[in-house]
Amino acid sequence: MAAALTLKSAPTDSTVKTDARAGKYLVFQLDREEFAIPVQSVREILGMLEITHVPQTPNFVKGVINLRGKVIPVVDLRLKFGMEAAASTRSTSIIVVQVQVVQAQGAQENGPRTPLLMGVIVDAVAEVLAVAAADIEDTPSFGQEVAVPYVMGLAKIKGKVKILLDITQVLTTGELARLDFDAFSH
Amino acid sequence: MIEHVLTQIEDLNKKIEELNKQVSSGASVLEMLHALSTIETLSRAAGKAPAADFAHDLAQRTERADGDKLQRIVRVGLELLLDVLNESSSGAEEETPEPQEPPRPPAERAAPPAAASAISMPSSIAQDPELIGDFINEAGEHLATIESEILALERDPSANAPLHAAFRSFHTIKGLAGFLELHDVRQVSHDVETLLDRARNAQLAVTPAITDVVLEAADYLKRAVAWVAAALRGTHGNPPETATILARVRRALDGKLEPSAPAVAAENAGAAEPSAADKLSSEKPAAEKSGEKSGETTFTLRVDAAKLDSMMDMVGELVIAQSLLTHSPELARLEGSGVQRNLQQLARITGDVQRMAMSLRLTPVNQLYAKMTRLVRDLSRKTGKAVRLELSGEDTELDKTIVEHLADPLMHMVRNSLDHGLEMPAERIAKGKPAEGVLRLAASHQAGHIVVEVSDDGRGLNTEKILRKAREKGLVPEGHHPSESEIHHLIFEPGFSTADQVTDVSGRGVGMDVVRKQIQILRGHIEVHSAKDAGSTFLLKLPLTLAIIDGLIVQIGGGRYIFPISAVREMLRPTPEMLFTIENRAEMAMIRGELLPIVRLERRFGIPGGVQNPCEGLFVIVENEGRCFCLLVDSLIGKQEVVIKTLGETFRHVTGISGGAILGDGRVGLILDVNGVLREPVRA
């Protein structure tokens, strides 16, 4: 064909990487660590509710819940990161996040990518924080051969380190997403 | 002479400038068309044929656009027009003045068009996915029209109406392609259009060679549209090769065309990109056509499928909310007050809304039939077998998802029938059958199910061969004598094929198990009836609506599970005398003289806390592919109509669970896929 169809996607922010990570984050706690995810991906925050277990799933997939008529999967983030399971306390919460699902291979092409809602169980939800570019440091590589793609960086605010998570990446990898926490905290 | 041309180009540029102003001042479509027409004339006079053609195509596109799309199209179109002009000028020897007004980039898209001196045409339109999407949809519809019209033409070469219809469709595609600068597509469309024009003016005889080449051109266009669709999604493959088809069409125009070797269209065009055009095309193209046939016009709307799905979800939640309200114990106490009456009214209206919403997704099965007609025609040519295709129940309506998912299985079965089922004419006559074989496709509603029948009057299934092959593969143990029905179902095992040679069309042994899987995804099943030399009949039975089922809710361990009522034969509490253990491994129950295997669901799923002693629990007796099983559950909770919610990507690999549902108390129940439960080897 004579015409070459070059389809450019919508123009993305061609700004510096650190700027893209700055913004408002929801901070939550898992064990002794504090994590933060961008608020745009947060749909709502719920207290713990009854989770229906689904058989044949990895242990970090706790099951499904009824979110006002929608059935959504729930993941225990502690287990997903390879931490020990913990009993629910009064502050245990479920954060409902919206992730963009990458089409699995061989999956039916059904048009626009439907965003997926998933719940993540966390020990406690802390606060919403504005993170400035200046506060963000790149994830140091601790001699790990494999980069940790779902950690976008570290934010140091008031002397405490918060691990900035790309929650989509965390939830769409099928396996356990181990993090070397000792390396992160100091 | 040169001056003359120069003046015209000046006029041209002025006209374009005017039009640009008109666009921003909100000029009417008519004014724009008028201006475009002038531009076209001027271009031709100035010898700028490409520009003239482009102006013509732009006018055609403008005619059918509306709203702010119109503005975008014209604006972008004008930029391109200027580029076309400048490009053809830069090759010429005359001096050309600079364009009077630099083209303004479209407001929404940030990417500016490339410099006018570039050799390849910048496709700033190509950066507008919406316009490309429109092209794919419209082209798809027109290609469907072309195919059915040409097939009609084959049956009756003297008919004129199909020629007109096909001509119009190629003409439209030509314009659409030109607008998107798909030059090869435009060229092929143009040539076929000319061919059809001569045919309808009786300057060209409609021979099989001609209909062949037109269909081949349509196939080429399908591949081209698929290529565009793939590019839109970010998959950049190779564009389809144009030279061959163009040469054939040109030979047809010169009257020197030979009939082509029969190629199976579905393989070439369909295999690579399964009906991308069909999938994206409007919701009811068939309805439009059937309206035309009967002389009335049915008014249809093109609806974004995603919006429809959203609405379906919301209707589902409405039903649940309404149900919770109606069954709420607090409200039940308000007997005799107006509340009860209003609740009933609400229930009635909700039911109506739900039924209406479901029906929105229904399309007549006609769409599928059209594909099959083409396939049968090609296959019959290729195999040399005479086939008559009998279609019935064209108006039967199916949920659009079912229709989409049925296409492949149906094609497989049609191929099998034509390849293995039907005999060659000579063989048929020797058997005392008419030389022409019959392939029947029938769709109907039967008691909450859709039944699609695929039957032929050919050889029938060869049970001896099947059994032998199955024993060879170890699928049937020694000494076991399966019933005829069980033998028939063996053909659905993976890798099974009794074909002596693997033909191009089928017989690779990947057919029937894939078909069964696809039908199971739709929560349906297949029935087989066959008799030697009489033929075979396959019945595809699918549930009427994908979204709602009548469910039997049971308790297993700490969870609630749902059986689709259609899967359940009966339920009973066993007594110790009924229970047997074979070789200390397999547990069986004697139900009315038959020994049925017991499946402990709590073990199958690894659910803790389930009842251990069957006599303290409940047997749910189900039938699957001709055999019955006893599934052990703790207890029965109740019966409920539930809306099926898919569990999503996360649980894609889970077998035995087909989805989730919100129960009356708001909790989530897991819907059992009986077939999936039983296919997994029972863990001891």
Segments forming the whole domain that contains residue A65? 21-104+113-139+148-184
Contact B76, B88 (CB under 8 A): no
Rounded Cα–Cα distance for residues B437 and B428 (Å): 8
**Alpha carbon distance A138, A161 (integer Å):** 12
The structure tokens 């039957």 sit at B455
Residue B31 dihedral angles phi and psi, to the nearest 5°: -65, -40
List C-alpha distances in Å: B518 to A109, B409, B447.
15, 7, 22
Please give the Cα distance from B222 to B244 (Å, whole number): 15
Chain A 150-169, residues with CB within 8 Å of chain B CB atoms: none
When scoring B400, B650, B663, B680 by the number of chain A Cβ atoms within 10 A, the one with the most, hence best to mutate, is B650
Average pLDDT over residues A64-91: 88
Q: Give the residue from B569, B609, B614, B564 showing the smallest Cα distance to B592.
A: B569
CATH number of the domain where residue A46 is located: 2.40.50.180
Amino acid identity, residue A101?
A: V
Q: Which of B269, B166, B264 is nearest to B224 (CA)?
A: B269
Q: What share of chain A is helix, strand, coil (3-state, %, to 5)?
A: 15, 40, 45
pLDDT one-digit tens code per residue, B470-494: 888 887 777 788 888 888 888 888 7
Do B606 and A68 count as a contact with CB atoms less than 8 A apart? no
How many inter-chain contacts (A to B, CB under 8 Å) are there?
Answer: 121
Report how far residue B377's alpha carbon sits from residue B147's, in angstroms, rounded to the nearest whole number.
Answer: 12
Q: Give B213-250 pLDDT, tens digit per residue.
A: 899 899 999 988 888 888 777 777 777 888 888 888 88
B129-260 under CATH 1.20.120.160, yes or no? yes
What number of residues does chain B have?
684
Q: Residue B293: CB partners within 8 Å, gap ≥ 6?
A: none
Closest chain B residue to the Cα of A104, Cα to Cα: B649
Q: Where are the domains of chain B?
A: 2-105, 129-260, 309-332+343-359, 364-543, 548-679
Spatial contact of B404 and B305, defined as CB atoms under 8 Å apart: no
Residue A13 belongs to a domain: no
- Angle (deg, nearest 10), helices B400-416 and B366-383: 20
Q: Residue A111: which of B306, B558, B560 has the nearest Cβ?
A: B306
User: How large is the ipTM?
Assistant: 0.76
Q: For residue B626, what are its two tokens? A: 């001709």
Q: Is residue A5 part of a domain?
A: no
CB contact under 8 A, B224 and A1: yes
B539 and B592 Cβ atoms separated by less than 8 Å: no
Residue position matching structure tokens 């994908």:
B546
pLDDT in tens, A114-145: 568 899 999 999 999 999 888 888 877 665 55
Q: Tokens 């469910």 label which residue?
A: B551
CA B373 distance to own-chain centroid: 15
Domain count, chain A: 1
Average pLDDT, chain B: 77
Output phi, psi for A173, to 5 deg.
-80, 135
pLDDT at A2: 39
- CATH number belonging to the domain at B548-679, selected among 2.120.10.30, 3.30.70.20, 2.40.50.180, 3.40.50.1820: 2.40.50.180
CA B363 to chain centre: 11
The pairs formed by B624-627 with CB atoms below 8 angstroms and a separation of 24 or more are B624/B567, B624/B674, B624/B675, B624/B678, B625/B489, B625/B525, B625/B675, B626/B483, B626/B485, B626/B486, B626/B489
- The reply to whether B364-543 and B548-679 are identical in fold is no
CB contacts of A76 in chain B (<8 Å) are: none
Residues of B in contact with A55 (CB under 8 A): 605-607, 654, 656-657
Instruction: Specify whether domain B364-543 bears CATH 3.30.1050.10.
Output: no
| B654/A54 touch (CB, cutoff 8 Å), yes or no | yes
pLDDT at residue A134, as a whole number: 86
Quote the pLDDT of residue B480.
Answer: 80
User: Which residues of chain A from 49 to 78 reach within 8 Å of chain B, CB to CB?
Assistant: 50, 52-57, 61, 64-66, 68-73
**Above pLDDT 70, what percent of chain A?**
69
